[in-house]
Every structure is written in structure tokens, then in C-alpha cells.
Structure 1
Amino acid sequence: MIWSTAANAAEAGAIARALVAERLAACVHTHPVASTYRWQGAVETAAEVALVAKTTAALADAVAARIAALHSYAVPEILVTPITGGSPAYRAWLADAVADPAQG
């Protein structure tokens, strides 16, 4: 899973749609969050939209690169969390959803 945040719902939606349309992620959840963080020496608080992208380990670097390319932040949050378990049926669906159909 890859966690990121976006500046607003429009940006989060565009990133989510691109990741799924390009078969880099099987699903992307988005939800509003309030973030408090340190930036350029000051403590800031902002409304953001979190993204949780479900993908495979093999695609993690490509997903991270695509998020960075589509993102408005100078330093976008991109955190990769390995999945070590879960429903076999869901994991099979995920793998199929990101598989390249041309590779058969």
C-alpha cells in the first residue's frame, strides 16, 4: 500500500484516477484529513486529502514516481507499506487488476 496526501479533492481524484486507469493501482481510497507538520521551520496545519493506493510490491516504485509527477507539492508525502497478509481472494483480485492484459 502506498500512502500520500494531496492539497485538495480535485488533485487527489486526478491522482487516484490516473493510478487506476494506468493499472498502477487496483484501488485508491481518498478521504479528508487534517495534517499538522513542520515545514520550513514552522509548524503548519492544513486540510488535505489522504490517498491509500493498493498495488503490488513490483509496482511500488512506478506508483511513487507517478504520484510525484502528478503532485503539486515540492515534497509530496509518499510512503510505501508492505503487505504481509490478507484475504487471498482480495490479493488475487488486486494482482489481476494491475496486470498488463497484453502480457496475457
Structure 2
Amino acid sequence: MIGIVYITAGSMQNASEIARELVSRRLAACVNMFPIFSVYRWNEQIEEQNEIALLVKTDSSRLDEIIETVRFLHTYELPAIEFWEVKGEQEYLDWVHVNSS
């Protein structure tokens, strides 16, 4: 199954480090990064922060390795790591599968 792993990072530097590692290890075919503004509860406080969102295109068989890699490289105590199954144009999905296997 092909999907997107959604991750947030506190800086472009950390996001880029994670993205490069995932792609270089063939855990992801591609990673898109863009700035976001987040509002969330942490330690019973409402927090507001600029972050970088990563959309990691991958095969679900790589998810455990992605989680392990992200937890090792991430600067957050508890990084957001979510997997979303996607459907799409088959030739593109095949490309994702080949390049993340």
C-alpha cells in the first residue's frame, strides 16, 4: 500500500536532515516540505509555533523503519508521525513503490 507519512519538525534544518536520510536510505521516494503554523496542547499549555510539515511518499512496508529513523533524528520529544493511505494515478504509485523499496 502506498501512502503519505505526515511529520512536523521545528526547523527547516531538522526537516531537511530527516528528508535527506529517508530518501537516501530508500525509505521514501520523495519528501515535500513546507512551512505551517501549529496550535496544539503540550504539557497542559496551549502552544503556537511555526513548524515545517513533511509529506513523505512511501510504501507502507517501510513505515516501521521510517518511524525509527525519524525518532532518532527528530529534535522533538514526541514527533508527530502519521500514515495516510493514498490512491492515485497508478504509474505514479508504482514509481513511489519502486523508489521506496
TM class by shorter chain equals over 0.9
Residue in structure 2 matched with residue 87 of structure 1 by the alignment:
89
Alignment-derived partner of residue 34 in structure 1:
37
Q: Tell me the CA shift for residue 62 of structure 1.
A: 1.1
Structure 2 spans left out of the alignment, 5+ residues: none
Runs of 4+ in 1 over 3 A off after TM superposition: none
RMSD of aligned residue pairs (Cα, Å): 0.8
Q: Residue 49 in 1 paired to residue 48 in 2?
A: no
Structure-2 residue corresponding to 1:102: none
Identity of aligned residues (%): 35
Give the alignment of 1:9-28 within 5 angstroms. Answer: 9-28=12-31
Is the radius of gyration larger for structure 1 or structure 2?
1
For 1:98, the equivalent position in structure 2 comes to 100
Shift of 1:49: 0.3
Query: Which protein has the bigger strand share?
Result: 2
In structure 2, distance between residues paired with 1:27 and 1:54: 5
What amino acid sits opposite 1:87 in the alignment?
E
Q: Which amino acid aligns with 1:48?
A: E
Higher RCO (CA < 8 A, seq sep 6+): 2
Q: How many pairs were matched up?
A: 98
Provide structure 1 residue ranges, at least 5 long, that are not aligned to the other structure: 100-104
For 1:78 and 1:98, the matched residues in 2 are separated by 17
Q: In the aligned structure 2, how far is the partner of 1:64 from the partner of 1:86?
A: 24
